[in-house]
Structure 1
Amino acid sequence: MYHPEYSVQHIQEIIQAEGVTPDPNAVIRTLAFDSRKLADEKFTLFFALKGRRSGETYIKQAYDSGVRNFVVRTDYKDTDAWPGANFLFVDHPVQALQSLAAAHRKQFNYPVIAITGSNGKTIVKEWLYQLLRHNKKIVRSPKSYNSQIGVPLSVWNMTAEQELGIFEAGISLRGEMAALANVIQPTIGVLTNLGDAHNEGFGSKAEKLEEKLKLFSQVDLFVYSPRYIPDENISLPGRKQFSWAFNQPADLCITHQEDSPSGGTTLTASFQGQTMSCQLPFRDAASLENVVCCWSVLLALHYKPSDVTQWLEKLHTVNMRMELKKGINNCSVIDDSYSLDLSSLSIALDFLNQQKQHPKKTLILSDIPESGISSETLYRQVADLLRSKDVDRLIGIGPEISSFSGLFSLEQQFYESTASFLSDMPQLRLNNEAILLKGARRFEFEHISKALTQKVHETVLEINLSALEANLNHYKAKLKPGVKLMAMVKAFSYGSGSYEIANILQFNGVDYLTVAYADEGVSLRQAGITLPIMVMNPDVDGFETMIDNNLEPELYSLRVLRNFLDALSSSGRTGYPVHIKLDTGMHRLGFIPDELEPLLALISGEPGIAVKSAFSHLTSSEDPDSDHFTRQQIKLFSEMTTRLESALGYSIIKHIANTSAISRLPEAQFGMVRLGIGLYGIDSSVSSMKSPLHTVARLVTCVSQIKELRKGDTVGYNRRGVMLHDGKVATVKIGYADGYDRKLGNGVGHMLINGHLVPTIGSICMDMCMLDVSGVDVEEGDEVIVFDGEHTVSHIARQLETIPYEVLTGISQRVKRIYFYE
């Protein structure tokens, strides 16, 4: 969303920057920092923010896309390389971004709610939006934009047409909140809770609370629970305070809660001497706490209590993630229907553009409700956005968007309702395209998602792409300047998918991908992956296919090398990139030191190949007891590659570090590292209790049937399961054909149902297995967690006396994969 307009000269004054400004009157209305996610380029100000690489590295990509306005560090010297571009020089571009947003915020006098806490910030923000949007025009943070960068980008969306702002703020280190408070300048403060998230950045929980409360130092009203401010000596911020609690004194006190027959909860509360009750569609403790927090905000704002309870009862679940699913007719479906405004649409279109596996990009978009601007202005901005994001086809649903069809200059179809679209869907011939669903709730796009999604096995492996991206950035931060990163996507990306994972790795700028076999690489090429791809186990019969698809072989023996040179001579290719595998102690594949001479004799001066890298494999990088041998390997590798480079007469990339070595052995980084299972949150060199990594994969199934059994009754094949007491058995939809090992039967394996860890009983069947759920509140259709961040892959691996790799790679292809981005 890009309503504010500033001249470059005005911005230069605000952020107090020196400048080279051939066009000082250029208009700015969009702020950007990621050269891969650009729109409205002519009117964009690009902030070159420092990450693993210098932010100025990305100026070329932004300039080539049409951006002509940049904020860079004071030491940037290459302005002459970009004719016609404006450059503003500052010491700290992030602080400049925050200063600009803070100045923009000062223009508006309407109330602004700021939300912080350890958990629940986004849920509370979205529920307050649901509760207040019927009588307020609201600007809010898109998705969970609550960081040092996300907050100013959110506040930049404020306009004079709105009447209320709702922004969330998150911190992970001491000293961060003051900057966010200066940007948001809230009038109302909401503390959701105080938990253990991001504890590592603070000396104590009290220190974390002190830092969070800095957000509210100037507010008129502060809403909180005394449960999270246990120290009575803490000075509460705000000219007024409003408290909420469960069964302890507070302005809004929840005195009783009871499960309702419909599956929700009835809360009874006391407020100003009156008793109120509210029937909610939630049962989990976190949701109930977040509802009470919202309840308190509305009461503190003097809304009528009876109205508030009616509004609360209509709250609906907030789906916080974009889901990527396999669709019908070789389509990919991105379901992101939980919220709809210009900001969230732009974010979703960026995710659509990451999908390179299809030649066509289609957006199915409903009317956009309550935007706060005129409909013509709104849909003109939508049309500009779709043009800048290179969308190929728009399917509009709703009377309002249909009435503005003339604004869109792309392939288009329009329908008055979701029902009319569904009835016409077979005639649209949706085929081999990436489809983004973005619909307001009243249009019930879940019916479209169901119609477009492949009907497959109900057991689902959920892949959190946000978590994978966070893990990737964790390892990137450990690399020395200039060290490249190779990501392992062999074995169906450790069971997690092929092009789905490769797309996000390519988007995030890894340098190389690695597969085990040529056909895996061919599939990635067919899905639009252009990164260099190394093949670890090249087959003689597949050399021609590899060459046709620009796949780079690992050469580990003279036999393989000679065969590949023969294949190259037939193709007429010269200078073909290859990778030399050296054996420094694994004794699996690779050239040992005694084989270097014949290798060098064969490749020196050979025009057919160009050695891109030489690499080896550490046997025990995660094991401190083996560090002496590991360092011997590193020393031998260094000696062998020195000889190799000397014979070749040119430099090559050298890599020996795997996931654990990245964490433990910085001396093993050389020119590149290979990141494998660490991407998925598993690193055996890192303590699971304090791991900074995020869980990526979650395997879930559901209960098919529940049986009441007597003591002595037997369960499953060969009567191997025996009930030791009267109780209940649940049959669930996962078996050994899905990758749930037969060794996990008869109480060895466990799964989570409604927070309870329950054992298997009887043998694991091909398509299902049984669980002893005696004493657990469970119903048919309930979700069953096979593994997640609590009951982990590592737990299952220990039960099987194996390693997490085997568990992940053993998950069957028939198990549906759903990819989501939070």
Structure 2
Amino acid sequence: MNIEELYSYYTASKRALIDSRKIEKGDLFFAFSGENFDAAQHAEIAIEKGATAVVVENEKYQNIEKNIFYFPSTLTTLQELAKHHRKQLNIPIIGLTGSNGKTTTKELIHAVLAEKYQVQYTQGNLNNHIGVPLTLLSITPEYEMAVIEMGANHQKEIELLCNICQPDYGYITNFGKAHLEGFGGFAGVIKGKSELYDYLKSHHKTILVNKADDIQKEKTAGYSPIIQFGSEDSEYQYQILHQGHTVGVIFDNIKAISQLTGDYNYNNLCAAITLGKHFGVESSAIKAAIESYTPTNMRSQIVEKEGKTLVLDTYNANPSSMEASLKNFAQYEGSKTIIIGDMLELGDESKAEHEKILQLAKELSFENIITVGAHFKEINSEKAFSNTQEAETYLQSQPISTQNILLKGSRGIALEKLIPFL
């Protein structure tokens, strides 16, 4: 059995998946294994449920008569099958990475392009070495283009993902202080994220550049083809617009107000509009897409609840995004409480970065500063809690009375658990 032969089973399948609990008739199942589990044990059950074939990496489970096939590595096989599928696709693929805002930007790009095209895009956070191949394998013949989000927390990861999805267009939202531990500092972040540029340049593909970002300008200087926005001499030019707590864009004498909070989302909106215009989406349709997109994933999400404005940004946090969120929230009218959670994966720079954020919060004069997590508790002497359980107990006895509340922290802190107590 080789990849080309396996591909014939894939084309006869409904979808590729890795979760044995979700197997349905017509699925191609990849049985992963780990220290304490081996999904290959469920191979025959998967076939009984109607799977077209199963890939296992434990040879003792192979049963060719039942379409259970052995490969030395399930992961490598999944990736190689996705690469083979990519070669059959005659559609443009947009690759996207960055330290902050890549998921929101991906969803905005999809919303805009979907006004004219059938667009497949990364679902949820399937943006790693497993998620990217699964996303590629979900691209069926009816799709006319795709938007692939690529996440990374160490060097060479974006390079790997680019070699799998082989993007025709690429955009790096920004370079921030995220995953400093894995990347080896901020310079490592720039190098790691720029692996997308390296791929695009070596294959003479198109780069989307925000010329308001000095690093993007420097890394793409002298390269062609590029699509530009963000400066007076750019091909595409925009103006920022505010309405209440939300941010919008003026383009082609059209005002488009999003449902996103924060000036940091302005560039995300501009990137989506630029790609929409590049691919011929009508301006009126772009406006409709921008205004109808509703964030529901705890990223820059505004919730009006019982007379209070709740800003949810609990999916991720790093020093760059935390600073932007605090400065944006400080501009809200009325009294304000911030509940901020630890920023994870910062390595040796963790304590210093948490101290900078706590100092910034104090300088911005919020009525209440509540921190959650061991890193903040180490440096915060008041209203500091080790975890959400401790914070829940406090909030039950000390309800927040301010008009505005911000929740911002890393995914591992799970600040959304506090919402019922606000």
Give the shorter-chain TM-score range.
Answer: 0.5 to 0.7
Q: Does the aligned pair in 1 maintain the 2:374–2:387 contact within 8 Å?
A: no
> Map of 1:94-113 to 2, 5 A cutoff?
94-113=75-94
> Map of 1:415-814 to 2, 5 A cutoff?
689=350, 756-759=364-367, 786-787=370-371, 792=376, 798-799=381-382, 807-808=390-391, 810-811=393-394
> Map of 1:135-146 to 2, 5 A cutoff?
135-146=116-127
Match 2:5 to one of 4, 7, 13: 13
| Structure 2 equivalent of residue 213 of structure 1 | 197
SS in 2 for 1:811: helix
Alpha-carbon distance in 1 for matches of 2:389, 2:126: 36
Q: Are residues 1:47 and 2:30 paired?
A: yes
Q: Does the aligned pair in 2 maintain the 1:220–1:238 contact within 8 Å?
A: no
Q: Which amino acid aligns with 1:758?
A: F
| Structure 2 equivalent of residue 33 of structure 1 | 18
TM-superposed CA distance for 1:214, in Å, is 3.5
Could you report, residue by residue, the CA deviation over 1:701-747 in whole angstroms, capped at 9, with x for unpaired residues?
Answer: xxxxxxxxxxxxxxxxxxxxxxxxxxxxxxxxxxxxxxxxxxxxxxx
| Structure 2 equivalent of residue 252 of structure 1 | 236
Alpha-carbon distance in 1 for matches of 2:371, 2:248: 31
Alpha-carbon distance in 1 for matches of 2:181, 2:159: 19
Q: Which amino acid aligns with 1:152?
A: P
| Structure 2 equivalent of residue 79 of structure 1 | 61
| Structure 2 equivalent of residue 296 of structure 1 | 274
Distance 1:801 1:318, change over 3 A: closer
Could you report, residue by residue, the CA deviation over 1:504-553 in whole angstroms, capped at 9, with x for unpaired residues?
Answer: xxxxxxxxxxxxxxxxxxxxxxxxxxxxxxxxxxxxxxxxxxxxxxxxxx
Alpha-carbon distance in 2 for matches of 1:142, 1:802: 33
Q: Which amino acid aligns with 1:60?
A: Q
Q: Which amino acid aligns with 1:13?
A: E
Could you report, residue by residue, the CA deviation over 1:620-676 in whole angstroms, capped at 9, with x for unpaired residues?
Answer: xxxxxxxxxxxxxxxxxxxxxxxxxxxxxxxxxxxxxxxxxxxxxxxxxxxxxxxxx
Match 1:122 to one of 89, 96, 103: 103
| Structure 2 equivalent of residue 163 of structure 1 | 144
Query: More displaced, 275-284 or 171-180?
Result: 275-284
| Structure 2 equivalent of residue 224 of structure 1 | 209
Alpha-carbon distance in 2 for matches of 1:156, 1:83: 23
Alpha-carbon distance in 1 for matches of 2:373, 2:257: 28
- Please identify which structure carries the higher helix content: 2
Distance 1:294 1:791, change over 3 A: farther
| Structure 2 equivalent of residue 182 of structure 1 | 163
Alpha-carbon distance in 2 for matches of 1:121, 1:793: 29
Q: Are residues 1:320 and 2:297 paired?
A: yes
Distance 1:790 1:315, change over 3 A: farther
TM-superposed CA distance for 1:277, in Å, is 5.7
Alpha-carbon distance in 1 for matches of 2:13, 2:223: 35
Alpha-carbon distance in 1 for matches of 2:376, 2:226: 42
Distance 1:807 1:277, change over 3 A: same
| Structure 2 equivalent of residue 241 of structure 1 | 226
Q: Which amino acid aligns with 1:172?
A: N
SS in 2 for 1:251: coil
TM-superposed CA distance for 1:809, in Å, is 6.4
Choose between structure 1 and 2 for higher RCO, CA contacts under 8 A separated by at least 6 residues: 2
**Unpaired segments of 5 or more residues in structure 1?**
1-8, 17-23, 270-274, 323-337, 339-448, 468-679, 692-748, 761-784
TM-superposed CA distance for 1:461, in Å, is 12
Compute the TM-score of the two structures, normalised by the length of structure 2: 0.67
| Structure 2 equivalent of residue 92 of structure 1 | 73
| Structure 1 equivalent of residue 175 of structure 2 | 194
Q: Does the aligned pair in 2 maintain the 1:146–1:170 contact within 8 Å?
A: yes
TM-superposed CA distance for 1:148, in Å, is 0.8
Q: Does the aligned pair in 2 maintain the 1:120–1:192 contact within 8 Å?
A: yes
Alpha-carbon distance in 2 for matches of 1:795, 1:308: 49
Alpha-carbon distance in 2 for matches of 1:130, 1:87: 39
TM-superposed CA distance for 1:89, in Å, is 3.1
Distance 1:31 1:313, change over 3 A: closer
Distance 1:32 1:231, change over 3 A: closer
Alpha-carbon distance in 2 for matches of 1:457, 1:297: 38
Q: Does the aligned pair in 1 maintain the 2:372–2:387 contact within 8 Å?
A: no
SS in 2 for 1:78: helix
| Structure 2 equivalent of residue 284 of structure 1 | 262
Q: Which amino acid aligns with 1:289?
A: N
Q: Which amino acid aligns with 1:811?
A: Y
| Structure 2 equivalent of residue 708 of structure 1 | none
Q: Does the aligned pair in 2 maintain the 1:189–1:215 contact within 8 Å?
A: no
> Which one has a bigger Cα radius of gyration?
1
Number of aligned residue pairs: 365
SS in 2 for 1:129: helix
TM-superposed CA distance for 1:28, in Å, is 3.5
Alpha-carbon distance in 2 for matches of 1:185, 1:233: 23
TM-superposed CA distance for 1:241, in Å, is 0.6
SS in 2 for 1:99: helix
Q: Does the aligned pair in 1 maintain the 2:135–2:148 contact within 8 Å?
A: yes
SS in 1 for 2:88: coil
Alpha-carbon distance in 2 for matches of 1:215, 1:177: 9
Alpha-carbon distance in 2 for matches of 1:284, 1:799: 28
Distance 1:49 1:288, change over 3 A: same
| Structure 2 equivalent of residue 606 of structure 1 | none
Alpha-carbon distance in 2 for matches of 1:226, 1:239: 14
SS in 2 for 1:280: strand
Q: Does the aligned pair in 2 maintain the 1:752–1:786 contact within 8 Å?
A: no
Distance 1:277 1:756, change over 3 A: farther
Q: Which amino acid aligns with 2:32?
A: L
SS in 1 for 2:78: helix
Alpha-carbon distance in 2 for matches of 1:320, 1:242: 29
Could you report, residue by residue, the CA deviation over 1:232-274 in whole angstroms, capped at 9, with x for unpaired residues?
Answer: 77456975211222x56433344x54544x54456557xxxxx
Q: Are residues 1:310 and 2:287 paired?
A: yes
Could you report, residue by residue, the CA deviation over 1:298-327 in whole angstroms, capped at 9, with x for unpaired residues?
Answer: 2333555x54663466243322259xxxxx
Compute the TM-score of the two structures, normalised by the length of structure 1: 0.37
Alpha-carbon distance in 2 for matches of 1:302, 1:242: 14
Alpha-carbon distance in 1 for matches of 2:149, 2:384: 44
Q: Does the aligned pair in 2 maintain the 1:462–1:819 contact within 8 Å?
A: no
Alpha-carbon distance in 1 for matches of 2:263, 2:125: 21
Q: Which amino acid aligns with 1:28?
A: S
Q: Does the aligned pair in 1 maintain the 2:29–2:54 contact within 8 Å?
A: yes
TM-superposed CA distance for 1:117, in Å, is 1.6
SS in 2 for 1:252: coil
**Unpaired segments of 5 or more residues in structure 2?**
317-340, 353-357, 401-414
SS in 2 for 1:46: strand
